[in-house]
Structure 1
Amino acid sequence: MHEGTPHTHHPADGSLWEMQILLPALALSACAVGYVVLAHRARRRNPVRALSPWRGVGFLTGLALLSVALLPPVASLAHSDFRGHMAQHMLIGMYAPLALVLGAPVTLLLRALPAPGARRLTALLHSRPARFLAHPAVALLLSTGSLAPLYFTPLLTVAMAHPAGHRLLLAHFLLSGCLFAHAIAGPDPAPRRLGVRARLIFLGCAIAAHSVMAQLMYGGFWVDVHAPVPEVQGGAEIMYYGGDIAELLLAAALVATWRPERRARTAVPASASCGPARA
């Protein structure tokens, strides 16, 4: 733990700052429009198998959380205050990914794409790299495991010293968070998905790791964050309590899948091919 805030960086000029606001807003708007268009196309193609409207609510909620994290005032605060950085981290790496994953975007793509495109996407999902990345152990290592080198080595200072490094860090938070949420409680298809009990174990490991790192950070043990002590302790509190809430929400999403799994095991073989009309 170090005094000062050398991790802070500022845009070179006003136009660059405008682009840092404009580009995320345009990208998020494009994602929202794309999801709505695909949902409409899938519904027209097969109304019986259309996604539940709640899936769309979840995905759009995830985009809204991303907009809060990527646009001022949170984005501005993240550059100058470690507590702002941690709040941004929680939104991008834990809360938004859960909402996005619950929107079942891959299932929507499979239902909206033409048959050849859907077959290619299915083949990609069943490929060896996809199966490797979708394993909860790998997702846990990439999401929660990466926090130790980030906050207990100079990595955060190096990343925050350059705009490109900060953007890569945010992309890592989002992608690894989505991967972990999908591996634990995602409704999208996943080959060789572990059972609910096994996934709860991996989630418990994530909860324990978050708790230990937040407490070490609060106490100043081995932490390498260049910020005043009150900011580091405030960031640790956000990580501790905010992480607990996000992981409880993820656990609730996981447990909600328990009953469908039990019904699937007790269903008669003749009806196995007749899945639910809505996802």
Structure 2
Amino acid sequence: MDGHTHHPHGGGAGGGVWEVLLPAAAVALLAGGYLLLAHRARARRPALGWGRWRTVSFLAGCAVLAVALLPPVAPFAHEDFRGHMAQHMLIGMYAPLALVLGAPVTLLLRTLPTDRARRLTGLLHSRPVRLVAHPVPALVLSTGTLAVLYFTPLYNATMDRPLLHWLMHAHFLLSGCLFAWVIAGPDPAPSRPGVPARLVVLGVAVAAHATISQLMYGGFLIDVHAPILQVRGGAEIMYYGGDIAELLLAVALVASWRPVRHRRRAAVRPAAAS
């Protein structure tokens, strides 16, 4: 920690315009693509349709992503570490949960031609995906890398290099989506363990977030070029914002829990009826 602050990179007005237009266009394409697929799913199988709340959830995730990447949050994130941490929470925890609850993989499988849907299913069950899609590697990629970011010079490097900065955003979003998917996503996951095991992993994530934020608040191991008050404010945002996001993730996980005996009863009822 020190007394230096970072200023928005990108230089002139042209760079500033593109820093607004490109994220806005990307989020608009993401939302528009989902709406198009949802329309196709309803048109292809009207009786089955597509869940309205899934669409609402995905669009809410796009809205959160837009808030994080556009003014006033984005400029504030360049100038103040507290803004960076708020942006990190939105991109890496809140937007991913809403996006994942929209079940985009299931939607894609419903709308793709049969041969392409089979290829996608095969990809989901491939060895690399099965390895990454386990809760423990997902935890390391989403939460474990925070220590690398804030306890090494990496964070300061991302503030000085636009490409690294956008790669950091991409990592936050993708690793956050991965973790939300394997913990509580409605889409099928190839190597997802039972709910109790996932709750344990989620508990480890809560403890890891708390530990990193407390070390940050106390100034231990932290390597961030920002005023002390900003770093402490950012640590508080990580601590409380992370708790709320992980509580929402736990609610989503428990809401999807179907105990074994209930699944067995559901399987027996049709047989008994026949």
Q: TM-score, normalised on structure 2?
A: 0.95
Alignment-mate amino acid for residue 12 of structure 2: D
Aligned-residue offset at 1:99: 0.2
Aligned to 2:217: 218
How big is each residue's C-alpha offset from its partner over 1:35-65, in whole Å with a ceiling of 9 and x where there is no partner?
1110110111112332210000000000000
Q: Which moved more, 1:108-117 or 1:88-97?
A: 108-117
How has the CA–CA distance of structure 1 residues 261 and 43 changed in structure 2, closer, same or farther, with 3 Å as cutoff? farther
Alignment-mate amino acid for residue 3 of structure 1: G
- Does structure 1 retain, via aligned residues, the 8 Å contact 2:8–2:75? no
Counterpart-to-counterpart distance in 1, 2:261 and 2:65: 34
Counterpart-to-counterpart distance in 1, 2:264 and 2:145: 36
Counterpart-to-counterpart distance in 1, 2:265 and 2:158: 51
Counterpart-to-counterpart distance in 2, 1:265 and 1:149: 45
SS of corresponding position for 2:258: helix
- Does structure 2 retain, via aligned residues, the 8 Å contact 1:9–1:163? no
How big is each residue's C-alpha offset from its partner over 1:258-279, in whole Å with a ceiling of 9 and x where there is no partner?
137653243326859xxxxxxx
The count of corresponding residues between Structure 1 and Structure 2 is: 271
Counterpart-to-counterpart distance in 1, 2:264 and 2:213: 40
Aligned-residue offset at 1:33: 1.1
Alignment-mate amino acid for residue 151 of structure 1: Y
Aligned to 2:184: 185
Aligned to 2:3: 3
| Aligned counterparts, 1:102-141, within 5 A | 102-141=101-140
| Aligned counterparts, 1:83-162, within 5 A | 83-162=82-161
Aligned to 1:275: none
Counterpart-to-counterpart distance in 2, 1:78 and 1:15: 19
Alignment-mate amino acid for residue 2 of structure 2: H
Query: Gapped runs of 5+ residues in structure 2?
Result: none
Aligned to 1:41: 40
Counterpart-to-counterpart distance in 1, 2:267 and 2:38: 31
- RMSD of the TM alignment (CA)? 1.5
Alignment-mate amino acid for residue 2 of structure 1: D
How has the CA–CA distance of structure 1 residues 114 and 260 changed in structure 2, closer, same or farther, with 3 Å as cutoff? farther
How has the CA–CA distance of structure 1 residues 263 and 51 changed in structure 2, closer, same or farther, with 3 Å as cutoff? farther
Higher RCO (CA < 8 A, seq sep 6+): 1
Asked if 1:229 is matched to 2:228, the reply is: yes
Counterpart-to-counterpart distance in 2, 1:183 and 1:17: 36
Counterpart-to-counterpart distance in 1, 2:106 and 2:47: 14
Aligned to 2:54: 55
- Does structure 2 retain, via aligned residues, the 8 Å contact 1:125–1:131? yes
SS of corresponding position for 1:268: helix
How big is each residue's C-alpha offset from its partner over 1:105-128, in whole Å with a ceiling of 9 and x where there is no partner?
000000011111111111111111
| Aligned counterparts, 1:238-249, within 5 A | 238-249=237-248
How big is each residue's C-alpha offset from its partner over 1:151-201, in whole Å with a ceiling of 9 and x where there is no partner?
111110112111001000000000000000001000001123200000000
Q: Which moved more, 1:222-231 or 1:43-52?
A: 43-52
Alignment-mate amino acid for residue 33 of structure 2: G
Counterpart-to-counterpart distance in 1, 2:183 and 2:261: 17
Alignment-mate amino acid for residue 140 of structure 1: L
Aligned to 1:197: 196
SS of corresponding position for 1:25: helix
Q: TM-score, normalised on structure 1?
A: 0.94
Q: Percent identity?
A: 65
Counterpart-to-counterpart distance in 1, 2:181 and 2:32: 22
How has the CA–CA distance of structure 1 residues 246 and 236 changed in structure 2, closer, same or farther, with 3 Å as cutoff? same
